[in-house]
Structure 1
């Protein structure tokens, strides 16, 4: 509306890099002030379990094995059900490590899964009397290292959960083998608790009773399906690692490609930024990084409505003289002291407004005031507009100042006071940097 040329895509980069470096060093120095809460708490207030806790509770320590299939093994090309590994060796195959897209992933297995050379079997050896050396010799398997944190490291591909039968389930009294749990749900039951005590050894032939708690292992997606669609089971407990599990992590290369493409299109200046973003979103859907339902749920409608409402509100301030009134007040306070003080006042105003509304809405509201202030002082509007952009982005003082702050509030177990203690001093530092650096990059 003002007829001025806009900023380029990388106009803010030099200032942003300085603030980034400053922020890293600031957090390294001030991190001792962030105490948070000890441990992860479930909704009922109890401490949530980890993979390590579940393995210990169900007496599974030392039972897991990683065995690589050598070329020439009789297992190559054979189906899991045909090999009868559980009956012959007490070996329950709960997953297979296999190369896929330049990295090893853990693939779910069921009765019809066929094995390949160099597959690495993840096995639960429930029978203590089995000769592992004999098993590996007969099937041409090579033992691989299994570190203590293996399951935590593989939390993207393999999950655990505690489940129980509902009271009117038709499966009560049947064994795991009889209900074909692995075939029906693509999950493995590796542990069972009865009357609060874990049963040792294999549980596949144990008749399930009401009140039994089973530990299932498998893909997170299958666990979610069991919780959502399972008519006989209810999921009682999900470990902490579920927070780190991404439902579509295998699509990460496609998502990165879409991001790079969007930035490249924005840099060409041939395609408007909103169109470039829409193209990237459509490609995300094409590559199945996200579905339509998730994309719709990701839209934060209150923010959109607030921003759309702020645009006519800012225009109304201009038409009614509200902007001139604010600018006159700023001129009375800082007009005679030079543009640097005016930049500082604009920064403080943006930061104060950002305590109550989103940073984007703050920028929309303050931009006309900054341009009018520059015009009144007879200087370039670019440093004033950039200060508004940076001040609106420096929303560090409260959890509600920015959606990003709200996003990390829960996972980081931060409190409102944490944002105040850390955010207020850092906002002042950013203000000093911006007021001194922006006029160097965008002269008055």
Structure 2
């Protein structure tokens, strides 16, 4: 083992540790890897940045845009509504249709995005059927992962493996090359979940009521301990608040008063006005305030600011439910806001909503929440305009709206561009199937048509691209090249040959699958595919067999991230809404991963002979 190889393996180990701990962003780690390779002389500048010229990177970015177009036009949401109507009150029918629908949508758009869309649907259905969402949340995440095995463009690892084949001068996979295996695994997954779902009951709360039911305002008020905190206070003429902006008054710091809305006279009637940090108050405005202070502090507040207490009908503004909305939201795993406080984020100014409650590990937190650093798994209770709540998930792609109360209603708006979005998707698939037009060009054509039909605008298109994933792929590609240049690939292949080479190619497939699954516990499935694809092709060359079954086994193993809640963002998303423990994923994921491995090892050589 030469010194250059030791350096590359050491850098790889450091990257894996950073990925596993999560203390440094994955895309930042990838960029640091590029810098390290160039400064050390391991790779030239053009070699280190070769990932930016890979057509598959453009293809992945285009697929993010197409997926977002399907979301913006309501295609995915309409399928969720159809699912609820068809399944009715049957949990079995719901589970089967849910997994089929999610796997079908995920074959053409981000599995993380599909799962995020269907989490509120599952919560609503669970409420209707009076059953725990834990019985459906894990089938939802498993279907999202299986969707990566449905088409060539379903997940970045497939494209990474395909790109490695092309780089070696070989013909790539076809659009539906992986589909027969994916369909078998999907059917087995549905059967597995129909039996195993009875072992999924989630964690129950101390009061015996589970955290899964779609709630009413009354439920949320009780859960977040908001009882007695609401106030209606009228601003008298001459008040020092008149003409001043909310941020300048610093009412939260001085009095513990959080203004979540105000009533203002407009054309002979009072209307609810949304409040932001720059809202200027007027005489006779009626403030809607969340206040945890004592009665003594309240009297002092009213006296100093010349406020008059008003009658409050309904508990915590429930009588204003048509105008003042309430919802539970959670940060997505890749959110840049994790670790920041609400004050640092400027939440009210940025999103136009107020955070009035926070639950961590199932318990409501008390005190001034604006200075509490947000953690993954926290659930926030936001209050404000219903329209702003519905837009929260689209702003910055940081939040997932978990639970809208019954008062909001279940109607979802129809979007006239939905047929155009479906046409663009169908055209892209048709162009890819012809093999006459490169996949990247087909995806770009679909993106341009979506813009032409106003399914998505330019600003939304750029926001739709998950840039951390793009940078991660680009940054990990130099690892594969560095391992090849320093002899690392040959070293690993020799080890695999000694371990399983003497038992035939089927044993080598098992070794590759197990190795991919093990690495995938610590780093993303995309990074796993980048590292393992050249090793798989080198192993096939060493054994003198076809590279296609070895490449396919890597693609399948990279998507088989069922074993822990941190193996994939898809699993992390359902962890909170399903009230799961870490051990639930181990208990359900390990057996199913073994099933997927057996199916893959049997079917791959049948479709792609050695």
If the TM-score is normalised by the length of the shorter chain, which range does it land in? 0.5 to 0.7
Change in 2 beyond 3 A, CA 1:401/1:236: same
- What is the CA deviation profile of residues 373-426 of structure 1, one whole-angstrom value per residue up to 9, with x for unaligned ones? 111111111111111111111111123323333343344443332222111110
**Structure 1 pair 343/228, CA: closer, same or farther in 2 (3 Å)?**
closer
What is aligned with 1:258?
424
TM score, norm. by length of structure 1: 0.59
| 1:317 alignment partner in structure 2 | 483
- From 381, 385, 397, the equivalent of 2:563 is 397
Distance 1:38 1:16, change over 3 A: same
Q: 2:268 aligns with which of 172, 175, 178?
A: 178
Q: Is this contact kept in 2: 1:262–1:277, CA < 8 A?
A: yes
Q: Which residue of 2 aligns with 1:2?
A: 168
How far, CA to CA, are the matches of 2:514 and 2:409 in structure 1?
Answer: 37
- Which whole-Å deviations, capped at 9, do the CAs of 1:206-235 have from their partners, x for residues lacking one? x99375623343799xxxx9996699xx62
Check conservation: 1:36, 1:414, Cα contact below 8 A: yes
Which runs of 5 or more residues in structure 2 are unaligned? 1-166, 222-229, 236-240, 243-260, 275-287, 291-307, 326-347, 355-382, 390-403
Change (3 A) 1:441 1:227: closer
Q: TM-score, normalised by structure 2?
A: 0.44
User: SS of 1:217's equivalent?
Assistant: coil
Q: What does residue range 249-288 of structure 1 map to in structure 2 within 5 Å?
A: 251-288=417-454
* SS of residue in 2 equivalent to 1:235: strand
Counterpart position of 1:20:
186
Question: 1:194 deviation in Å?
Answer: 13
Shift of 1:362: 1.2
Q: Secondary structure, in 3 states, of the residue corresponding to 1:181?
A: strand
The C-alpha deviation readout for 1:300-338, integer Å capped at 9, x for no partner, is: 333222211111110111111000000000010111111
Deviation at 1:274, TM superposition (A): 2.3
In 1, Cα distance between equivalents of 2:231 and 2:438: 54
Match of 1:235 in 2: 384
Give the Cα–Cα distance (whole angstroms) in 2 for the partners of residues 176 and 430 of structure 1: 63
* Superposed counterparts of 1:402-417, under 5 Å: 402-417=568-583
Q: 1:9-158 maps to which residues of 2 (within 5 A)?
A: 9-37=175-203, 50=214
1:374 aligns with 2:464: no
In the comparison of the two structures, how many residue pairs are matched? Answer: 314
Aligned with 1:422 (options 588, 594, 597): 588
- 2-side partners of 1:374 and 1:194: how far apart? 68
Give the 3-state SS of the residue equivalent to 2:201 in structure 1: coil
Q: Which residue of 1 aligns with 2:258?
A: none
Which one of the candidate residues 328, 332, 348 is aligned to 2:494?
A: 328
Q: 1:7 to 1:49 in 2, by over 3 A?
A: closer
Q: RMSD across aligned C-alpha pairs, in angstroms?
A: 4.6
| Greater length-normalized contact order (CA 8 Å, ≥ 6 residues apart) | 2
- Report how far residue 48 of structure 1 moved: 9.2
Residue 295 (structure 1) shift = 3.9
- Going from structure 1 to structure 2, the CA distance change for 1:439 and 1:28 (only over 3 Å counts) comes to same
Contact 2:231 2:309 in 1 (8 A): no
Query: 2:106: which partner in 1?
Result: none
Partner of 2:310: 209
1:346 aligns with 2:516: no
Structure 1 residue 289, shift from structure 2 partner: 3.9
1:361 aligns with 2:527: yes
Q: Flag the 1:172–1:407 CA change in 2: closer, same or farther, 3 A.
A: closer
Contact 1:164 1:236 in 2 (8 A): no
Partner of 2:466: 300
Contact 1:383/1:443 (CA < 8 Å) preserved in 2?
A: yes
Q: Is the 8 A contact 1:310 1:364 kept in 2?
A: yes
Contact kept, 8 Å, 1:335 with 1:342, in 2: the verdict is: yes
Aligned 8 A contact 2:234 2:310 in 1: no
The CA deviation at 1:287 is: 4.0
Q: Secondary structure at the match of 1:365?
A: helix
Query: Is the deviation greater in 418-427 or in 404-413?
Result: 404-413
Q: 1:28–1:166: structure 2 CA closer, same or farther, 3 Å change rule?
A: farther
Q: Is the 8 A contact 1:355 1:401 kept in 2?
A: yes
SS at match of 2:320: strand
